[in-house]
Structure 1
């Protein structure tokens, strides 16, 4: 028997201040699938992710998250079952990494006064910190972390409630090469460690896609240009159309790289 979709988007439009942002977009994500949303700046990727994370409502069409249709469910309760990782995390206090991760249980930015985790919850936080490669940084303060360390801490935080869905909004933004590669390695590890977990990752750089990416959607001007298994969607021609630039796309050891397609010499 086929498992129910984790996400189902059916012919969605989204209009803001009279401006169309998304038009006739449909998407189905099933358990264990790892999707990439790709497109140039302003294509609608982060807007679509906000719908998937129950942070916004569509203007037209339907969005179902974990079997619940937006508009017919308490969004605050639904968000607690979705691990949404935003690199623009608004923490201002010098919390330790372990405390940042534990805030994933309370779905708050800061630690709640007089709240303490159970021993089992504390053990889970430590396991996730180790899994994300931050074992030697668990007592480090937030302001002292590199951008890459912050990103991995936020992924651990998002996994604390044991969500079925993980949403990653341009997680490699601002990272150097080493930070990017460490992040991709840890995301790939997660996909093997939690085989039932589904994920959607937003980026406009194909080099940032983990090897375990199973599906992709190409967005251009708020419309779906192509959607489906990565081998069918991520082709030189289709990615070139998406970004309006002639490109040559290759994949080696599960990782993608992009170069400008040079015209044939006469």
Structure 2
């Protein structure tokens, strides 16, 4: 079969007209989007814009009031989520003291586990160690921990690690199954400057891997967006207002509207940076007569 006649590969993520209400509040408002296989897309927006809710819909953790979601060729609601989640790596800023806290925190791993055991939960897409990993799986987990700089912490409980170390351990967990899709939900939240840069360097290594996984990076920090990401989604009040290459989306007017203050965007050393203008809310105060 020639390339011209070969069927196109399905997108890694595709959702159409996704709307979600909770307690009478509209959280997602008719959102549609698509990520091709192997692409890196950044989902950018202010706190409360709906970013994390959209990611939880993609993972089958929340169900939309309306709309259709396909992930890795599977339609959510018509596929076995546990099998699908084994093809997805997830990194977020939450840790968890136990399985009973999962719904409250949104965490993905039991922080009482030692680092190797915590990474091994990624093989089974579970929060805690409900299945015993093989020696080969433990060896693979230990090797990934060494790669992310935690070779000296293999037997330490996650609770005893620094926030940056915990986040790198969660990244190792996300990668242990060589996932087709990686979703990073504000992965640098709570990290100091060195910790943030270490995690972003690990993300750059991930993007250079072959085969290259599809990556969705959710953030409200412009400087965390890879300069060579294929696209940026800009979210505001439950809607995707912009979808395009970083150079087109990361513009002063668009970001000022999304974040509710006057900002200026620059590009330097392959990354985008944003600066809040002096007295950025003066216009807003004048409008209400204060």
TM-score (norm 1): 0.90
Q: 2:133 aligns with which of 116, 127, 136?
A: 116
Q: Matched residue of 1:129: which SS?
A: helix
Q: Relative to structure 2, which stretch is displaced further, 124-133 or 186-195?
A: 124-133
What is aligned with 1:145?
Answer: 161
Q: Indicate if the aligned counterparts of 1:188 and 1:211 stay in contact, CA closer than 8 A.
A: no
1:215 aligns with 2:231: yes
1:5 aligns with 2:21: no
Q: 1:30 aligns with which of 29, 33, 36?
A: 36
Q: 1:134 aligns with which of 150, 160, 183?
A: 150
Choose 1 or 2 for highest CA Rg.
2
Q: Note the C-alpha offset of 1:145.
A: 0.9
What is aligned with 2:82?
Answer: 76
1:105 aligns with 2:123: yes
Hey, what's the Cα distance between the residues in 2 that align with 1:146 and 1:128? 18
**Number of equivalences:** 261
Q: Indicate if the aligned counterparts of 2:117 and 2:138 stay in contact, CA closer than 8 A.
A: no
Runs (4 or more) in structure 1 with deviation over 3 Å come to 91-94
Q: Which structure ranks higher in relative contact order (CA pairs < 8 Å, sequence separation ≥ 6)?
A: 1
Q: Indicate if the aligned counterparts of 1:32 and 1:197 stay in contact, CA closer than 8 A.
A: yes
Structure 1 pair 261–87 and aligned structure 2 pair: CA distance change class (3 A): closer
Q: Indicate if the aligned counterparts of 2:120 and 2:133 stay in contact, CA closer than 8 A.
A: no
TM-score (norm 2): 0.83
Q: 1:46 aligns with which of 46, 52, 64?
A: 52
Q: Indicate if the aligned counterparts of 1:170 and 1:203 stay in contact, CA closer than 8 A.
A: yes
Hey, what's the Cα distance between the residues in 2 that align with 1:151 and 1:125? 15
- Deviation string, structure 1 residues 56-84 (Cα, Å, up to 9, x no partner): 22211111011111121222332222212
